[in-house]
Amino acid sequence: MQGICLLGATGSIGQSTLDIIAQHPDKFVLIGASANESVVKMADICHRFKPQRVVMGSEKARDQLALLCVGLPISFEWGDDALDSIASDSAVDQVMAAIMGFAGLKPTLAGIRAGKRTLLANKESLVTAGKLFMDEVARHNVVLLPIDSEHNAIYQSLPQTIHGAHKKDISKILLTASGGPFRSWSLDEMVSVTPEQACKHPNWSMGQKISIDSASLMNKGLELIEACWLFDVTPNDIEVVVHPESIVHSMVSYRDGSVIAQMGNPDMKIPIAYGMTWPNRIETQVPPLSLVDVACLNFESPDISRFPNLQLAADAWFMGGTAMAVLNAVNEVAVAAFLNRKIAFLDIAKVNAQVLNSANIVPVNTLEDVFESDLYARRLAEDIISLGDF
């Protein structure tokens, strides 16, 4: 029986994780769970799974939740310290790090430092503090399993007994991208994109922020950076391939000409279950892939002129230091501005580029360097957006 701490329980990853826990009550028990302000959704989780501890993003949300869960033997808590505490709780064996954005970094590190198996669905942790993050994983001898479907696929396509070794045998990592809802749109058509259109991903059901990132290909840019840290490579070792069907989740090309791919229907329960049970596998109730029904798989190169965020991510990697944290921060601000209709869809990449190219990039020696660069980039982005100077 594995005790699970679910950071970000009310999001799409959290809900899929709960589905796996519900399907296998003999293997998993929910020990801790967190959400920001989604009180009603969390109340349902509390009544269904009865975790020992629940953390909300504010005192008000905590109090509202407690009123909806009177009589349940649950400790209702709130705030950053409580979030770190549930991730490092002695009853927890695995931490599902599914808090989206920069906010997920600190509690994920708390779980790692407590020696918990870490299931990483928060790409921003690696993007903003990659070296520090991976150093902590090595220092505490933690099993780190990527949950993003693409990185999970790469992990499965590498030799498991020598994972991370024999890099000389690998020719290229092929990171697939669906292309998002605007894959075939011209720049002129993309000028008037609305938040509602950008949130309609053709294959995946995701939250607003990650849906916008997918539409702008920033999500793939962040995944490229994440893959560099996870698999100890550079952007030169990774080729992004647009694959609109989202059936091949990623591939590894070897020097002998072999290409090993992981395929499956687009459902996050597959990589989540793999992470929770690795090196074994369990039933997920996801329908098996029928290649006869799929019939045709398409692949193409991404168009950087229409989706410049992908190149910005590679640029940030090579700039090093706080550049990746800066890019992540400005993008979060720009996406929020687009969702609030303060800027246009194509302006997201313009704001990202202006901040990245004008920011003061410094080495990352401590987490404070990351936090300071994050705040600095957010303020710079907000100023640029308020002035319309992009």
Give residue 41's Cα distance to chain centre: 21
- Is 269 marked as binding a ligand? no
> What's the CATH number where 382 sits?
1.10.1740.10
**Each residue of 19-64: pLDDT tens digit?**
999 999 999 999 999 999 999 999 999 999 999 999 999 999 999 9
342 is in an annotated binding site: no
352 in a labelled binding site: no
38 labelled binding-site residue: no
**Side-chain half-sphere CA neighbours of 146 within 13 A:** 25
pLDDT at position 145 is 95
What is the number of domains present in the chain?
3
| Chain segment 246-299, per-residue pLDDT in tens | 999 999 999 999 999 999 999 999 999 999 999 999 999 999 999 999 999 999
Please say which residue of 142, 169, 204 terminates a domain. 142
* Residue 386 assigned to a binding site: no
> What is the distance between the alpha carbons of residues 312 and 203, in angstroms, rounded to a whole number?
25
Domain that holds residue 201: 156-294
Q: What is the pTM for the complete model shown?
A: 0.90
The answer to whether residue 151 sits within a structural domain is no
Q: 388 CB contacts (<8 Å, ≥6 apart)?
A: none
The reply to whether 8 and 131 lie within a common domain is: yes
220 is in an annotated binding site: yes
Q: Are residues 104 and 191 in the same domain?
A: no
Residue 178 labeled ligand binder: yes
Percent of the chain at pLDDT above 70? Answer: 97
Split at pLDDT 50, 70, 90, the class of 203 is: low
Q: Read off the pLDDT of residues 88-140 as tens digits, 9 standing for 90 and up.
A: 999 999 999 999 877 899 999 999 999 999 999 988 889 999 999 999 999 99
Q: Is 172 annotated as a binding residue?
A: no
* Residues 280 and 341 occupy one common structural domain: no
Q: Is residue 301 part of a domain?
A: no
Q: Are 123 and 31 in contact (CB under 8 A)?
A: no
The answer as to whether 313 is a domain residue is no
Same domain? For 118 and 12 the reply is yes
Distance CA 286, CA 180 (A): 23
Same domain, 78 and 185: no
Q: How confident is the model at residue 205 (pLDDT cuts 50, 70, 90)?
A: low
pLDDT tens figures, 98-109: 998 778 999 999
